[in-house]
Structure 1
Amino acid sequence: MDLELIQQAVPVLLKGLKVTAILTVLSVLIGFNLGLGLAMMRLSSNRLVSGFAKGYSTVFRGTPLLVQIFLFYYGLGQLSFVKDNAALWWVVSDGARCAVLALALNTAAYTSEILRGGLLSVPTGLVEAAQACGMSRALRFRRIEFPLAIRQALPAYGNELVLTLKGTSLASTITVLEVTGYAKRLMSQTFAVFEIFAIAGVFYLAINLLLITLVRLLERYLNRHQSQ
């Protein structure tokens, strides 16, 4: 491998790594909160509410992320009510903001299913005991249901975080210069396909390993009482 090429590529790809990190963090923050709301809607006794959440999950999990990104970036901008709404146009007029929107809505669908499984795993006896103690629904959720659910859901959610990070590479298809976007630009300039994308792959691998390590540390912390 050409060392001079590596010295040229690494600083450029590092600029893309910053954009990749921003896309991931924003998408995960929005997607987790939306996913939690959808998970609670799925468990609602109201058929209309639970049906909406189920339909949302089916649509976003059943269609490719790339198709969703194209629909948001190329499709929504053609709708007249989007053009006439300043807030909506602000979102869809920029590739990075469109990528965050698509990634957040996509990961929210998967997150909702992961968290729903975690909430269903909470022992019914604990919930009934909290009710008998006079806990409000919000307090019961905050102190009992959510902490237990997140312990069960964390391993699967860690996988979803990795998938979201890798999904940011698709943002390059709508002009966003993240790691893959810069790699494509360098490839067109140097024609060194293998070298450039090998370095980009190392970048993704390194940040994914860091992410997996952080999730495992958090999982160990949350389950620390089990090893005592």
Structure 2
Amino acid sequence: MEALINRLEALLAENSIFTLQTLSYYGEGLSTTVQLVFISLLIGLVAAVPLAIGRGSKRRFIKWPIFAYTYVFRGTPLLIQLYLIYYGVVFVDGIQETWLWVLLKEPFVPALVAFTLNTAAYTTEIFHGAIKATPKGEIEAARAYGMSPALTLRRIVLPSAFRRALPAYGNEVIFMLHASAIASVVTIMDLTGAARFVYARFYAPFDAFLFVAAIYLCLTFAILYLFRYLEKKLLAHLQPMT
């Protein structure tokens, strides 16, 4: 009886999709997903700050191009943007003879460009709304202290706007994490790509994709916890006193 049980356990282990090899695929996919999301969010955040400032400019030649950019990238699906950048770059005349082709021929870079442009557009509108919501009293107080417009923007408007934008930006981070699942359609071995590979090899869709869903769920809860912590620290002055 003991021998039979041992044999069954060995057989189940042999047929399990969670081997060291498949787990290494998931580990590689997790690393790629985190890199893709983190780098695109970082570059998008840095780009969104000046774009949000320019979005609120009174000069039309500054604000209208930024408005057009955010309108287009927020109004079209990210998957279409990814396809246009990934497949469209091949049709740019002379691109294959330049040093850029070394980077663009790898799927990670076009995906990074698409994700960065998309998140920068959303983040620009988030920060633009937060800047517009700055109380006039804060700006008037800064002027009364003799601050220049640039100093007021740096010391008063932007820190205040960042605190107000934090909850909405947290949602954008989670959205980008979930949207990164489409990167596998351009042959990137991210988490979803790893699940597809394991499914194609073992024909176990539930095991392969449920495991990835659990990883995404853990990452989402980690992001939620981080932003809840930041909100608690940065918005402590708005909390009711007990």
- Which residue identity lines up with residue 70 of structure 2 in the other structure? S
Post-superposition offset of 1:171:
1.1
* Counterparts of residues 102-141 of structure 1 (less than 5 Å): 102-141=114-153
Aligned match of 1:34:
47
TM-aligned CA deviation for residue 225 of structure 1: 2.6
Q: How does 1:18-33 map to 2 (within 5 A)?
A: 18-33=31-46
Q: Please list every run of at least 4 consecutive aligned residues from structure 1 whose deviation after the TM superposition is greater than 6 angstroms.
A: none
Q: 2:87 aligns with which of 56, 70, 74?
A: 74
Contact 2:17 2:198 in 1 (8 A): no
How far apart, in 1, do the equivalents of 2:53 and 2:130 lie? 11
Which structure ranks higher in relative contact order (CA pairs < 8 Å, sequence separation ≥ 6)? 1
Root-mean-square deviation (Å): 1.6
Relative distance call for 1:41 and 1:162 in structure 2 (3 A) is: same
Alignment partner for residue 192 of structure 1, among 192, 196, 204? 204
- Which residue of the partner structure matches residue 3 of structure 2? none
TM-score with structure 1 length normalisation? 0.93
Q: Alignment identity in percent?
A: 37
Counterpart residue number, 1:17: 30
| Structure 2 residue 62 is the aligned partner of structure 1 residue 62 | no
Residue 7 of structure 1: how far off its partner (Å) = 4.1
Whether the aligned pair in 1 keeps the contact of 2:111 and 2:183 (CA below 8 Å) is: yes
CA distance in 1, matches of 2:36, 2:181: 10
Gaps of 5+ in 1: none
Computing the radius of gyration from Cα coordinates, the structure with the larger value is 2
Per-residue deviation, 1:86:
2.3
Give the letter aligned to residue 132 of structure 2. Answer: L
Q: Do the aligned residues in 1 keep the contact of 2:70 with 2:121 (CA within 8 Å)?
A: yes
Kept after mapping to 1: 8 A contact 2:191/2:212 = yes
User: Residues 110-157 of structure 1, C-alpha deviation per residue, up to 9 Å, x if partnerless?
Assistant: 101111111011111211221232213332122111111111111111
How many residue pairs are counted as aligned between the two chains? 226
Asked if 2 retains the 8 angstrom alpha-carbon contact of 1:69 and 1:98, the reply is yes
In the TM superposition, residue 81 of structure 1 has moved relative to its aligned partner by 4.5
1:6 aligned partner: 18
Unaligned runs of 5+ in 2: 1-11
1:145 to 135, 157, 161: 157
Go from structure 1 to structure 2 and tell me whether the alpha carbon gap of 1:213 and 1:82 turns closer, same or farther (over 3 Å shift): same
